[in-house]
Amino acid sequence: MRYGNLDGKIAIITGSARGIGLASARLLAEAGAVVIITDINAEGAQAAAKELVSASLKAEAFHLDVSSEASVKKLMDQVYESRKSIDILVNNAGILDPTSIPEMTQEKWDQTLAVNLRGAQFCSQHVLPYMTKKPGGKIVNIASQAGQLGGFAAGVHYTAAKGGIIALSKAYARYCARFQINVNCICPGFMLTDMTRDRNDDPQIVPLKRLGTALDVAKAVYFLATDFSDYITGATIDINGGFYLR
């Protein structure tokens, strides 16, 4: 038996037109999975899928607005109808907004929680009717160090949403255990990605003296999506270079 083999697995990754989502999709595809690239940026999703296919990997693109329950349900229905299985879900889609507490508006609060927290709930809820058809499913949620420490450059709405992802993961882990579905959470720290590139975070504040990369997170996604993690559920894995030690 070869551990880590994802041949024949169907993996949906939200917000995967770029950054952590795309890096995760590429790694899962290299392990043999058919990756479903989803993003609110439909053109970006198509370009990402084309990039993977050109590298002889298996990928397909779909438009997805995770904040819309109708959009999420439509995607899950389409993927299952086409592929007859959904084995892995990576809830990665998110937006980052630095609005301070004094400047917070209801619109900004609602938009961030709709994408960053409600989206993960919709996707997890609506994948279960298909994922529970056989044991061994994996749900991986991308939270943030901000949800553990209260945020630094992130706004209170982002921080609250990512803290909610950590709690959501534990609740789903308890519920899904009866179906032999593992649900885990990843908390990236200071990262150098498309979303954070303009922030100019100082790598010297990190014990390992560098910012994290999309690939650093993707490696953890791969681990949690494979049979390497079969006896791990409800866990929060920190990818932060030693900045936050529990």
Mapped onto helix, strand or coil, the DSSP state of residue 132 is: coil
Q: Structural domain tally of the chain?
A: 1
d(CA 111, CA 142): 18
35 assigned to some structural domain: yes
Rg (CA), the chain: 17
144 assigned to some structural domain: yes
In whole numbers, what is the pLDDT of the chain averaged over residues?
A: 94
Q: What value does the mean pLDDT take over residues 218-223? A: 98
1 assigned to some structural domain: no
3 assigned to some structural domain: no
Q: What value does the mean pLDDT take over residues 127-136? A: 97
Q: What value does the mean pLDDT take over residues 23-48? A: 98
Beta bridge mates, 34: 10
What was the pLDDT predicted at 197? Answer: 67
Report residue 134's pLDDT band, with 50, 70 and 90 as the boundaries: very high
202-to-97, 191, 197, 208 alpha-carbon distances in Å: 19, 10, 11, 12
pLDDT at 7 over 90: yes
Q: What value does the mean pLDDT take over residues 27-41? A: 98
What was the pLDDT predicted at 203? Answer: 82
What was the pLDDT predicted at 127? Answer: 98
Domain that holds residue 152: 10-239
118 assigned to some structural domain: yes
Report how far Cα 5 is from the mean position of its chain's Cα atoms.
20
What's the per-residue H, E or C state across 35-61?
EEEEECCHHHHHHHHHHHHHCCCCEEE
244 assigned to some structural domain: no
119 assigned to some structural domain: yes
4 assigned to some structural domain: no
Q: What percent of the chain has pLDDT over 70?
A: 98
Backbone angles phi, psi at 188, to 5 degrees: -70, 150
pLDDT at 151 over 90: no
Q: What is the pLDDT of residues 72-108, one digit of tens each?
A: 999 999 999 999 999 999 999 999 988 999 999 999 9
What was the pLDDT predicted at 245? Answer: 87
Is there a contact between 97 and 123 (Cβ–Cβ < 8 Å)?
no
CATH classification of the domain holding 24:
3.40.50.720
Amino acid at 29: A
Looking at the chain, list the stretches that DSSP marks H as alpha helix, in order from N- to C-terminal side: 19-30, 42-54, 69-83, 106-113, 119-131, 146-149, 156-176, 214-225
Give the residue from 2, 233, 15 showing the smallest Cα distance to 139: 233
Report the catalytic residues: 158
pLDDT at 109 over 70: yes
